[in-house]
Amino acid sequence: MINIPIWLDLSTVFIGALQGALFAIFYKRFDLVGVISVAILTGLGGGILRDLLLAVGRPAAMQDRYILTAVASCLVAILIGRWYKKASGAVVFLDSAAMSLFAIAGTYKAIVHGTSELVAILLGVLTAVGGGVLRDVVCRITPQIFTGGPLYATASGVGAALFVLLEKSALDLNIALGVSAVSIVAIQMASLRFRIHLKPVLDSLDFEDPSR
C-alpha cells in the first residue's frame, strides 16, 4: 500500500496548527494553554475525524511527531506575535494554505484506503474544514463555513475533485498534489479578492415583508 508522504502530513499539521495558534493569540487573546489547545485541535482535528470515518485504527495524528509539530507551531506563532501587532493577513492566507493541504491529504488517504471517488472527495473536504470547525466551536463562534462567506469548503471540494482526476492520470504524484493545492488557494484568494461569497439559502428571510 502506498503511504501518504510524511512531508505532506507534517507540513499540513504545522500550517494548520500555526493558523489556529495565531487565531487564538490575535482574535481570542487566549493564554498559553488555550493557544496550544486550539493549535492542536486545528492542526489535528480534521485528520482525526477522517481516520475515524475510514476505520483505519488509531488516528495517525495520535503520534508524538504530529503532536510535537502542532506544539512547535505555537512557538512560531508566539514569535510572530512579538514581531507584529496584527496578523490578519497571515491568518487568512495560512487558513487557505492549510485547507488546501488538508483537502489533498485527506483525499489521497481515502483513495489509498480504497474508498470510492465521491467518498474520497467528501473526506477531503471534511479533513479540510474539520479542524477549523472544532476551533470555532471551542472559541464559541459559529463555524465560518456555515455563515455564507468566502468559498472555503467549495474550493476544497473543487481541489479534491481535481486531485482525484489527476491522480488517475500519468501525471507525477507530487505535481498532482501541487496543482490541486494551488487551485484551492487560488479559488479561495479570488473569492476574498472579488468578494465572491455564498449567500444564505433563503436570503429573502432577511427582509421584512412590507405587507405585514
pLDDT score recorded for residue 212: 52
To the nearest 10 degrees (0 to 180), the angle between helices 173-193 and 88-112 is: 140
**Please, which pLDDT band fits residue 4 given cuts at 50, 70 and 90?**
low
Cα 46 to Cα 53, 55, 151, 206, 211: the distances in Å are 11, 14, 18, 33, 47
Tell me the pLDDT of the chain averaged across its residues: 88
For the residues 42-67, what does the mean pLDDT come to? Answer: 92
For residue 37, what is the DSSP state?
A: H
Write out pLDDT tens, residues 98-110. Answer: 899 899 999 999 9
pLDDT at 208 over 60: no
Write out pLDDT tens, residues 108-128. Answer: 999 999 999 999 999 999 999
> CB neighbours (10 Å) of residue 79?
10
